Structure 1
């Protein structure tokens, strides 16, 4: 009788490279960890798209309801989780007693913990970009990780070597205008707040420390997001299918926008996009880079207690990133890890340039600076009279329930906040093209939600 090597078979859930038989079926570490977390934490998920979401290696993080159902249909067994917990002991105790070793003999972070961290970050990124693609409906994400527009064109983001669910958007079709730039900046920053609400230890910080972290990271976010999605070093691509070229001049922009972008765009392309392209940065590495930029314990003004919490969360991301690279690129893991971290100084330098440009523009009255951008990027937290919605209002407002959101504790090794939800409603207000995040609006009392009880595998209908 011929025996089939499980490692030769792809993951039965997502089709990625398997690492053996886990809980009764051949699967990868990602799906193994996802199934295990779901059972141990008794998580309940929902699906917003008729329970028919594509689950493959590019889209496995997009819908946790459909991913869990596919785990069950592929043959994963709940009993195997219970047996493992009862007979072997808690995962935390096992990890403490038997730390895994790298080939060089150095202790590395436990694989399951690292997979949890990156999977959580990927899920957060997928939800943010789902909201962004909903706002700009011309962006049609296809099942192979590419995106096609009406003319059939497509482009891969910087991480083309391993495209993810949140990285595929349509080919940019025209140069951006001042209105495009302002609209995208506002939308990006507002969704950034919702993303931050899901990242531990952010929910546990004081309001003052939350604002410090957001303001410290906001200009970096405005640079990182389009940079990763730019396919080459000729233009910076925005989510709304527009772009900025390195030589884009005053024909497209008026005074303020040209002043703000003319000396930044070439440097973003050369110092951020080009290194990302050379590395063929993966989505998993990008979400870690984002989290590391946000979790900055040395941000000026943070309280000592918050610094400790942020440093601990940052260390978890650092370990997860290195462990991921060690698996994907074992031959040159230290070099690749270092090159990714070396993007941070260039990012900070460009951030300072952006702040200086906006400061000079506002000081000399060259143009009116958007109140929300001013509040996020400039040091005028007390000057909020003209702001439609302030940072404090966003932070104090509840978020919506989203598909696949965790309703139970995420455990000590998680960096995703179990008590927050990411499903913002983007509405058009004012002149019709300035998006504001309308938070704190309750859903209709007649609206319904369907989720699955992981203990009984029965659908449960609830009124929201």
Structure 2
């Protein structure tokens, strides 16, 4: 047998190819035996499926064919079906080697080996034990910190509840055109907001490290985080059964009540949507307290100077929240990022709130000095 053999291409010119690994097909090759579209290199020659199968059967079954034209048939796609003797001769001349043809037993053993390899791979995949997941624990410092946060929040809320008689009563009149009634509703809401701001400031001052910050950084953090924490606290008080929000345990307000107080539905609807989303998470007091602490120590707030210190103060709360969630909800691996995404949603709500404050100014609704200062309203 020669060290190389010829392959015909669509251009009709023979190309010499040495023995060795089959080159990559281009898609325009033709069978070296019959000229049909080639399907691959087989038995060391480029051939189609028909010629490959015919040659194999001829070798295995030792078939004997006799040409009616004394072996002078010109082999092509038509004649390959008419004269098998000339076709077999052309296969051998093209370079198909009998020693490369597997016997039926060899094929059977090859299939069995392939099946065994696949079964072994499948079994090893199933049996291979997964590495044990890290068991989350709260160290004593984290446990103590969480307990103190919850206790601090309860104490601040208790002081606000004692101040409830100072709030302007919600008017019982349904007259929407009465100026005095509208002013009473607006005063009622702004006084509730003042109590909430005072509660947030008291809570922030008790957070470890907050008073270590410069006065300028303390003010910068509180000015931007206060409205977001107020919205977090609002979501805690959302009652899905009656689609309303309860303040100071007894005062419940629906969307229409917010509107009667002078707020726009462009701000009211996002508040209620956010509250519903938070309610679906079913957070407890510890998770809310940790979220609020994380929100306060946000180093990317405008006008913050000592970013590194603020980030260092925030990190223990982030770590504690992650561990707490892993312990409380071991099967919900998305809860931690889901909760942090709520802080991102609060940034959007804060922007909507700024638009609401501007709208109130256009309506000539004057905010109390504390709210004007905390929300940077220039009179």
Q: TM-score range by the shorter chain?
A: 0.5 to 0.7
What number of residue pairs does the alignment pair up? 231
TM-score, normalised to structure 2, is 0.56
Among 102, 108, 124, the residue aligned to 2:152: 124
Instruction: Confirm or deny: 8 A CA contact 1:295 1:310 kept in the other structure.
Output: yes
User: In the alignment, does 2:163 pair up with 1:135?
Assistant: yes
| Aligned-pair CA distance for 1:365 | 5.3
Instruction: Confirm or deny: 8 A CA contact 2:238 2:279 kept in the other structure.
Output: no
User: In the alignment, does 2:368 pair up with 1:370?
Assistant: yes
Query: 1:237 and 1:261 mapped to 2: Cα distance?
Result: 19
Instruction: Confirm or deny: 8 A CA contact 2:146 2:286 kept in the other structure.
Output: yes
Q: Which position in structure 1 is the counterpart of 2:337?
A: 338
Instruction: Confirm or deny: 8 A CA contact 1:298 1:307 kept in the other structure.
Output: yes
Query: 1:117 and 1:308 mapped to 2: Cα distance?
Result: 21
Query: 1:195 and 1:249 mapped to 2: Cα distance?
Result: 26
Among 243, 246, 268, the residue aligned to 1:237: 246
Among 179, 188, 195, the residue aligned to 1:180: 188
RMSD, matched Cα: 2.5
Alpha carbons of structure 1 residues 379 and 210: separation in structure 2 relative to 1, 3 Å: farther
Query: For each residue in 1:27-68, what CA deviation from the matched residue of structure 2 results, as whole angstroms up to 9, or x when unmatched?
Result: xxxxxxxxxxxxxxxxxxxxxxxxxxxxxxxxxxxxxxxxxx
User: In the alignment, does 2:331 pair up with 1:322?
Assistant: no
Q: Which position in structure 2 is the counterpart of 1:295?
A: 297
User: In the alignment, does 2:251 pair up with 1:246?
Assistant: no
Q: Which position in structure 1 is the counterpart of 2:308?
A: 308
- Which structure's residues are more often helix, by fraction? 2
Query: 2:258 and 2:289 mapped to 1: Cα distance?
Result: 32
Counting only pairs closer than 5 Å after superposition, residues 134-283 of structure 1 correspond to structure 2 as 134-136=162-164, 177-232=185-240, 234-239=243-248, 241-248=250-257, 253=260, 257-258=261-262, 260-271=263-274, 273-283=275-285
| Aligned-pair CA distance for 1:284 | 0.8
Partner secondary structure for residue 330 of structure 1: coil
Query: 2:207 and 2:283 mapped to 1: Cα distance?
Result: 22
Partner secondary structure for residue 245 of structure 2: strand
User: In the alignment, does 2:106 pair up with 1:104?
Assistant: no
Query: 1:226 and 1:336 mapped to 2: Cα distance?
Result: 21
Query: 2:205 and 2:257 mapped to 1: Cα distance?
Result: 36
Query: For each residue in 1:189-230, what CA deviation from the matched residue of structure 2 results, as whole angstroms up to 9, or x when unmatched?
Result: 122221111112210111111110110111112212122112
Unmatched segments (≥5 aa) in structure 1: 1-101, 138-175, 384-464
Unmatched segments (≥5 aa) in structure 2: 1-130, 166-183
TM-score, normalised to structure 1, is 0.46
Partner secondary structure for residue 243 of structure 1: strand
Q: Which position in structure 2 is the counterpart of 1:355?
A: 354
| Aligned-pair CA distance for 1:243 | 2.7
Instruction: Confirm or deny: 8 A CA contact 2:160 2:248 kept in the other structure.
Output: yes
| Aligned-pair CA distance for 1:133 | 2.2
